[in-house]
Amino acid sequence: GSEWFAPFIYWFRQGDNVHFSAPVATNDPRRPAKAETKGRFHLLGNRRDDCSLSIRDARMSDSGTYFFRAERNHPQKYTYRNTLNLQVTALTEKPNIHFLEPLQSGRPTSLTCSLPVVCDGARFLWFSWAGDTLDAVDPETLHSSVLTLTPRPQDHGTNLTCQVKLQGGQGTTLERTVQLNVSYAPQLMTIRLLQGNSTDLKSLSDGTSLPVLEGQFLRLICVADSNPPAVLSWLQDGKALSPSQPSAPGVLELPHVGAADGGEFTCQAQNVLGSRHVSISLSAWKNAPSCSCVCEEQQGSWPLVLTLIRGALMGAGFLLTYGLTWIYYTRCGGH
C-alpha cells in the first residue's frame, strides 16, 4: 500500500472525547496535540505498524490512564480496549560522582557527574559544581557534567557538590556531596618542645639552636602534615635513634640530658609521595655555681662604683692641679 493508506494514530487521555478533545500525541496534522503534552509526547517508528509512545520530561501531572486509537479511511476507525496506566513518581535518587581515587596533589583529575535514572535521550539537564576547592578553577567549566580538577593539599577533607537541575516541568534539583581524599607528600614540619616540669609546648623551627642544662628532662615531638600519614623517625648526627615510644615514633624523650646528648637532632617524615626533614642543634650545659645569681647582681653594680671612683679621682686631680698652680704663681709673683 502507498503512504496514503497509512493510518492516523492518536493517543488520548482517559475521559477525553475522541471526536472533540485534543489528543496527547498524534500524527494527524488536522488534530493538534494538547498544549501541556506538545513537544514531550511523541510517536515512534513507522506508523504502519508501530504505535509506540515516547514521553520526555515526565511531570507528576502526566499520571493517569491513556488509550490508543487508529483511523485510516471512513469508516475504518478503531479504539483499542487495552489502556496504558502511567504513574509518575517524584525523582529522589541523587546523582553520582565518579573519579579515580585517591586524588593526588598536583595531578589533574576528571570528575564526572551523572543522573542514573535519566534516559540517555533526556534533555534539559543543567549541571553545576560547588566547593571550597574550586576557588582556582575556571568558572566557565563549572556548568559541565565533567569537571577537571588539580587537587591541592589544602583540599583534603573538603566537600565537593554536584547539582543537577531538570529544566521544564517542576524544575527538580538534585545534588550529591562527596568529601575529597587528597594524597600529598609531607609538609609543614615542626618540632615541639616540652622541657623540665613545664606543660607549655614550644614550637621549634628548622635550624633552631637549643641550649639545655644537664640533668633536665626533654621531650621532642615531631609533627608533619601529610596524607597518607608519614612514617616518622629520629636521627642524632645522622645516626638512627630508637623511638622512646614505639606507638609514637615521632616522640623523642631525653630523661636526663648529658654531654653525650649534644649534637644535631633530625626528624624525618616519609610517605609514598615523598619525604621531608627538620633539624635542631642541642647543646648541653653544666649547672652554674650556686652563687652565680648573686655574683651577677654584684657584677651588675660594679660599673656604677667605677664611675663614682673615676669621678672622685678626676675631682681630686683638678683640685691638686689648681692648688699647685696657685702656689706657683703666688711664689713667683713674690719675686
What is each CA distance from 134 to 7, 100, 112, 114, 137, in whole angstroms?
Answer: 56, 18, 15, 19, 5
At residue 311, the pLDDT reads 61
Block residue for cell numbers 566537600: 159
- The CA distance from 20 to 244, in Å, is 92
Block residue for cell numbers 621532642: 220
At residue 280, the pLDDT reads 97
At residue 296, the pLDDT reads 38
List the grid coordinates of 221: 615531638
Confidence at 308, pLDDT banded by 50, 70, 90: low
The residue ranking higher by pLDDT, 169 or 76, is 76
Per the prediction, the chain carries an average pLDDT of 85
At residue 151, the pLDDT reads 96
pLDDT higher than threshold 50 for residue 38? yes
Q: Which of 6, 133, 1, 180 is nearest to 76 (CA)?
A: 6
- The CA distance from 253 to 194, in Å, is 9
Range name among 67-81, 179-193, 273-287 with the lowest pLDDT average: 67-81
Task: State the Cα angle at 334 between 331 and 335, rounded to 5°.
Answer: 100
Q: In the predicted model, what is the mean pLDDT of residues 326-334?
A: 57
Q: In the predicted model, what is the mean pLDDT of residues 67-83?
A: 86
Helices (H), 109-233: none
List the grid coordinates of 155: 583540599
At residue 10, the pLDDT reads 94
- The CA distance from 8 to 181, in Å, is 59
Range name among 110-124, 127-141, 156-170, 189-203 with the lowest pLDDT average: 110-124
pLDDT higher than threshold 50 for residue 282? yes
Task: Work out the burial of residue 272: count CB atoms within 10 Å of its CB; fewer than 13 is exposed, 13-18 middle, 19 or more buried.
Answer: exposed
pLDDT higher than threshold 80 for residue 335? no
DSSP, res 22: P
Task: Please provide the size of the chain in residues.
Answer: 335
Say which residues have a Cβ less than 8 Å from residue 274's Cβ, sequence separation at least 6: 185, 186
Contact criterion met (CB below 8 Å) for 184 and 105: yes
Q: In the predicted model, what is the mean pLDDT of residues 230-247?
A: 93
At residue 305, the pLDDT reads 47
At residue 121, the pLDDT reads 54
Q: Which of 270, 269, 248, 252 is nearest to 261 (CA)?
A: 252
Q: What is the pLDDT of residues 148-202, one digit of tens each?
A: 999 999 999 999 999 998 776 566 889 999 999 999 999 999 999 999 888 899 9
pTM, to two decimals: 0.66
pLDDT higher than threshold 50 for residue 295? no
pLDDT higher than threshold 50 for residue 54? yes
- The CA distance from 288 to 291, in Å, is 8
The residue ranking higher by pLDDT, 77 or 290, is 77
The residue ranking higher by pLDDT, 74 or 234, is 234
List the grid coordinates of 231: 612514617
Q: Which of 212, 222, 218 is nearest to 191 (CA)?
A: 222
A 10 A CB-CB count for 186 gives 23
At residue 294, the pLDDT reads 35
- The CA distance from 215 to 212, in Å, is 9
Contact criterion met (CB below 8 Å) for 185 and 226: yes
Q: Which domains are present in the chain?
A: 3-86 (2.60.40.10), 96-180 (2.60.40.10), 184-285 (2.60.40.10)
Range name among 47-61, 135-149, 174-188, 295-309 with the lowest pLDDT average: 295-309
What is each CA distance from 253 to 25, 92, 240, in whole angstroms?
Answer: 83, 57, 14
